[in-house]
Each structure stands twice: as structure tokens, then as C-alpha cells.
């Protein structure tokens, strides 16, 4: 995460205090156009705003303060690009592709974290919101059990602290 170094001396004069926090990971696979895929692959961050689907997903998730809360940094997320592959079976109503055909879809992968102690009712609310706005008939949404994620803070070095 980006940020300005706080006052209080040079980074070299302080040590990192690394702490592990129990969190759960939320990962959403979201279909995007080939154009959006190409723009994001070239590093054009404006594609986040220009693609209506991604913009809708990000806007919807900002209403949940618990998602991506890293203290001084809010709504923290990671993203990746890839492809989803699937073959649609009889009885499906695919948004993309046809029954019996293998389909490959350019995909935006959104990942964020939330406190592992968050109540199930709150998790249900944001999961329902994602399912309701997702364009796929069967969205791919991953939700992990508790894992540990590090966070760091610069603390002043005290006398006797050894630099490593």
C-alpha cells in the first residue's frame, strides 16, 4: 500500500513491527471485455472506471466498510487478469457462449480481506450483493476460512535494538 512516511525520523532509524492478523479472503472472478483486458494489461488504471462491470462491482463493495479495512487504508484490494474456461451444459442460460461449446472469457479477479471475526450476517449481506449484481448465471466467488495476513508499522528504534 502506498503512503507517505510519517514524521519521526528516517526509516533507517526505525524498525518494522510485523504483526499477523486473522482475516478471511474474498475473491471474485468478474468477466470483462477483451478491450478492458488489454487496457488493464497495459497498466491503464482508467479501465477500472471505464468498464461498467468493474466500476459497478467496486462501487457496490465500497458500501461494506469491513472489506479491505487495513486501518489507515480503506477498501484495499488486489486485482489480477486471467481467463475463465467452461463448457455450458443443457439447461443452462449462459451469458457468454453456447450449450455444448467450450468458452473462454477474459476475467478480472478481485481479491480483498476482512476480519475473521466478522459476523456471519455481515458476510451474508456482501455475498448476496455480489451474487445479485454479478453478470454470470453461476458466479465464481471464493471465500476462505481464517488465514493470517501481515501488516507492518514503523516503530522508533530504541537503544539496544539491533538492526538486521
Angstrom distance (rounded) from CA 60 to CA 54: 10
Residue-wise pLDDT tens digits, 31-86: 999 999 999 999 999 999 999 999 999 999 999 999 999 888 899 999 999 999 99
CB 31 within 8 A of CB 133: no
Lowest mean pLDDT among 6-10, 11-15, 24-28, 103-107: 6-10
Q: Return the residue matching grid coordinates 507492518.
A: 152
Residue 28 has pLDDT above 60, yes or no: yes
Q: What are φ and ψ of residue 102, in 5° steps?
A: -80, 135
3-state helix, strand, coil in the chain (%, to 5): 25, 35, 40
Angstrom distance (rounded) from CA 139 to CA 96: 13
Regarding pTM above 0.85, the answer is: no
Structural domains in the chain, sorted by start: 23-149 (3.30.70.120)
Cell of 151: 501488516
Q: What is the pLDDT of residue 164?
A: 42
Q: What is the pLDDT of residue 3?
A: 53
Amino acid at each position: 500500500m502506498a503512503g507517505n512516511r510519517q514524521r519521526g525520523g528516517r526509516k533507517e532509524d526505525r524498525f518494522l513491527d510485523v504483526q499477523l492478523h486473522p482475516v478471511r479472503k474474498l475473491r471474485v472472478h468478474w468477466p470483462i471485455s477483451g478491450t478492458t483486458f488489454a487496457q488493464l494489461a497495459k497498466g491503464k488504471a482508467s479501465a477500472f472506471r471505464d468498464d461498467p462491470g468493474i466500476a459497478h462491482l467496486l462501487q457496490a463493495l465500497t458500501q461494506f466498510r469491513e472489506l479491505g479495512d487495513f486501518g489507515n487504508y480503506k477498501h484495499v484490494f488486489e486485482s489480477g487478469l486471467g481467463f475463465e474456461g467452461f463448457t455450458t451444459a443443457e439447461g443452462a442460460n449462459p451469458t457468454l457462449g453456447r450449450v455444448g461449446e467450450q468458452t473462454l472469457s477474459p476475467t478480472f479477479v478481485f481479491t480483498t480481506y476482512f476480519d475473521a471475526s466478522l459476523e456471519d450476517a455481515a458476510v451474508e449481506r456482501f455475498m448476496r450483493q455480489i451474487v445479485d449484481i454479478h453478470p454470470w448465471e453461476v458466479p465464481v466467488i471464493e471465500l476462505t476460512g481464517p488465514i493470517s495476513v501481515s501488516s507492518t508499522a514503523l516503530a522508533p528504534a530504541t537503544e539496544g535494538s539491533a538492526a538486521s
